[in-house]
């Protein structure tokens, strides 16, 4: 994964996160293999903010739950983000703007670490740029009440818990990483990004890789409709 080093992180970004960003630039990212094929020039550009924070139980990640009434990805848990708009200067601007709109989090509180190489979601036609970020934490942001129904800060230790890890067999036949963290079920693109980051940061723990569940069954059992 190539790293754009044009941005210099702020002074309060922890060294482990800048190290993760540097490793991301050199890593082959097998967890993201499905998303690394170059997309067509007509692919729709978007960005997500992979926002780490300082929580009561150590580092955490910010996730959103989408409304079950939405046409695209209803009920799924995801990172904040969305399509690049005409007012956006770049993917970083998109990720910050969307996060503010979806959660109310003040963008001034966010330290951008680095944008990574865009990933392509073939089934939706989106080219997605993950943007690594950091914030010191505080009161959990609120949802926008329409497209986003809830906002969650999930401790990294919960994501790394072997009891909550599984592999999810998608309808297309391939399998991808899945995570159970409290009331949340993460899978697909979001789950793959989380699996990659856990390994890069050295947080991955041995888990039962033979635990495979069909996506439809996992949705019924753990939530994440759509």
- Give 60-106 pLDDT, tens digit per residue: 999 998 755 555 555 689 999 999 999 999 999 999 999 998 888 98
Tens digits of residue pLDDT in 145-183: 677 778 899 999 999 999 999 999 998 889 999 999 988
CB 33 within 8 A of CB 119: no
* pTM recorded for the entire structure: 0.90
Domains of the chain, start order:
15-222 (3.90.79.10)
What is the C-alpha R_g of the chain? 16
Residues 6 or more apart whose CB falls under 8 angstroms from that of 221 comprise 213
Residue position matching structure tokens 């856990």: 198
Read off φ and ψ for residue 82, nearest 5 degrees. 175, -165
pLDDT at residue 220 is higher than 60: yes
Residue 85 in tokens: 């708009």
Among 153, 154, 157, CA closest to 205: 157
CB count, 10 Å around CB of 40?
9
């Amino acid at each position: 994964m190539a790293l754009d080093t044009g941005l210099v992180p702020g002074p309060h970004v922890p060294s482990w996160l800048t190290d993760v960003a540097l490793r991301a630039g050199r890593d082959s990212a097998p967890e993201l293999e499905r998303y690394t094929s170059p997309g067509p020039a007509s692919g729709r550009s978007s960005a997500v903010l992979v926002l780490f924070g300082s929580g009561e139980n150590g580092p955490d990640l910010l996730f959103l739950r989408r409304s079950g009434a939405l046409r695209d990805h209803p009920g799924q848990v995801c990172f904040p983000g969305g399509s690049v708009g005409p007012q956006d200067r770049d993917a970083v601007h998109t990720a910050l703007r969307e996060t503010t709109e979806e959660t109310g989090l003040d963008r001034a509180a966010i330290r951008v670490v680095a944008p990574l190489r865009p990933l392509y979601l073939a089934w939706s036609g989106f080219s997605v740029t993950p943007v690594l970020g950091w914030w010191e934490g505080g009161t959990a942001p609120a949802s926008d009440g329409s497209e986003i129904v809830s906002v969650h800060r999930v401790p990294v230790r919960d994501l790394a818990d072997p009891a909550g890890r599984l592999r999810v067999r998608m309808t297309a036949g391939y399998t991808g990483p899945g995570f159970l963290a409290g009331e949340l079920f993460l899978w697909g693109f979001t789950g793959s990004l989380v699996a990659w980051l856990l390994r890069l940061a050295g947080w991955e723990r041995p888990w039962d890789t033979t635990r495979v569940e069909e996506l439809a069954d996992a949705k019924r059992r753990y939530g994440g409709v759509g």
